[in-house]
A and B are shown apart, each in its own frame.
Chain A
Amino acid sequence: MKAPSWFAGPIGGALVVALLAAFVVPGMAGDYGIEFATTLVLWIALVQSWVILSGYTGYVSLGHAAFVGAGAYVFILTWGAVPFWFGLVAAGFTSGLLALIVGGPCLRVRGPYFVILTLGVAEFVKYAVINIEASLGKFGRLMIGTPEPVDIYRMAVGLAAIAFVMALVARYSRFGVGLRAIRENEVAAEMTGIRVRWLKVGAFGLSALVPGVVGALMICRTGYFEPLQMFSPQLSLTIITMCVAGGSDNPWGPLIGALFLNILSELLWDSAPELYTVILGVVLVFVVLRMPEGIYGTAVKRLARRSRKAVPGETTP
């Protein structure tokens, strides 16, 4: 319900940050820094894509790994046969298409049923790929001639910027109004003339584009495709953890969640390797209990209360 010009600020900001990240950070950081930054930026891309369906509509998907894995698989299959960029785009669109296909039946059920169903679909896709590979006599595939880490990092930054803009436009457009109305009350949304099914399936398809490309970039980093690793449910769970920690009603919450979790775990890993997961767990429990709307959602509420006036567009959780 905002004029499109409203997007100009955040989109311009995202562009500036992305350019700085792409061209200034590599000069300052060493190899280790680049690796850390690449991981961080890929997580940002994943969480931004996840909120489009799961954050805005409340249909929590545990199946994001399927889209990462499917993208990676298509990328490795086409590796060497098509130009690099074409492979990346194909990876994204394959995952988007997969989401459109499975979205129709999956999005008929709500709540815990949807969560379990998406997990099941992701596992199904994983074992389908494992079996196809086994029948071809392949147990993992190697890639030769992958791009330099700095170039992968820059592509990841570009992808994260695209994912952020997608999540932003999806949130503050009419499309996003419809998605959030579905989360609030799906029957009431349908009654007011919102095409609930189209919106849900469309959001599922959109949310699967970016993870497909993430999958392709992930195997470029390792130079190796292995289905168990690429389709790991752990990946889906980590996305949810970041979004819950940061808040998932807008693009800012997942961004903060991804930064928070990645930086915290890096610091802990470095300073207290034995206690790292224990401390991380305690911090997460604290965040979930004390900040049910995530770090960002809670901070916005506190600030709004302090200044005693509403922050436009941000007061509705």
Chain B
Amino acid sequence: MSGHILELDGIHAGYGEVRVLHGVSLKVRTGGVTALIGSNGAGKTTLLRVIAGLLPVRRGNLVYDYREFTDADAAHRVEAGIALVPEGRMVFPDFTVEENLLIGAFTPRVRARRVELAATLYDRYPILKERRRQLAGTLSGGQQQLLAIARGLMSEPKLLLLDEPSLGLSPQAVADLFRMIEEIRATGVTIMLVEQNVRSTLEISDTAFVLETGEIALSGRAADLLADDRVRQAYLGL
């Protein structure tokens, strides 16, 4: 594999007076799964929000697909192929499953093909087809997560950002979720995965970054980090 789909250089960001990211630099390889791990409050969600364009970059540089994206708004990034599946899923609760999916293809690049894109996802995830007329707010947690990811896939992303997708799911649903992530990876989409579930995450990831208090503390091949004493002590409790 060669090339980097995303390159961050000295990213600073925060909320009002609160500075969360203090110069984050990292490169995400095209293809495969890149894990971002770190304790609560380290800035993982903030970093994903910056990459998705929901939070402005205060200092630093963001290059996506070899193009300058530091100041692009969220809609431009969706159009260019970045999709965020946020923490807490954030499906539209009073819209049906189908309406949620179709809104996922709001961006002009895929708009005209939204019905066929939805049909493809119905084939891949039959439960969504079964529930297509149901209000999204009435789905189980695992089904809502599936819907949130499927909504993200409706924009045919090149880079899929998953923020804590396993949060609040049953063990069975978590297992299904990790299988789903591997399937998506096999379709050639680059995945950036933020997770508390460090062991399972490192096991399916190629590369990993450890974020601590707004800076990258460690990085390397996921398999190496899984064996690293510092990671084992801090995040795996070994």
Contact = CB atoms under 8 A, between A and B. Distances in A.
Contacts of A195: 73, 75
B151 interface: yes
Interface string A173-206: 0100110110011011111111100000000000
Interface stretch (B88-96, B166-174, B200-208, B221-229): B88-96
Contacts of A192: 78, 103-104, 106-107, 151, 155
A184 B92 contact: yes
B214 interface: no
A263 B91 CA distance: 40
Contacts of B92: 181, 184-185, 188
A1 B107 contact: no
Nearest to A249: B94
Interface string B21-47: 000000000000000000000000000
A1 B90 contact: no
Contact of B96 (A189, A193, A316): A316
A188 B91 contact: yes
Interface residues of B, number: 27
Contact of B74 (A174, A177, A190): A190
B75 A194 contact: yes
B99 A1 contact: yes
A120 interface: no
A192 B73 CA distance: 12
A140 interface: no
Contacts of A190: 54, 74-75
B179 interface: no
B109 to A, nearest CB: 9
Interface in B51-84: 52, 54, 73-75, 78-79, 83-84
Interface of A: 1, 174, 177-178, 180-181, 184-185, 187-195, 310, 315-317
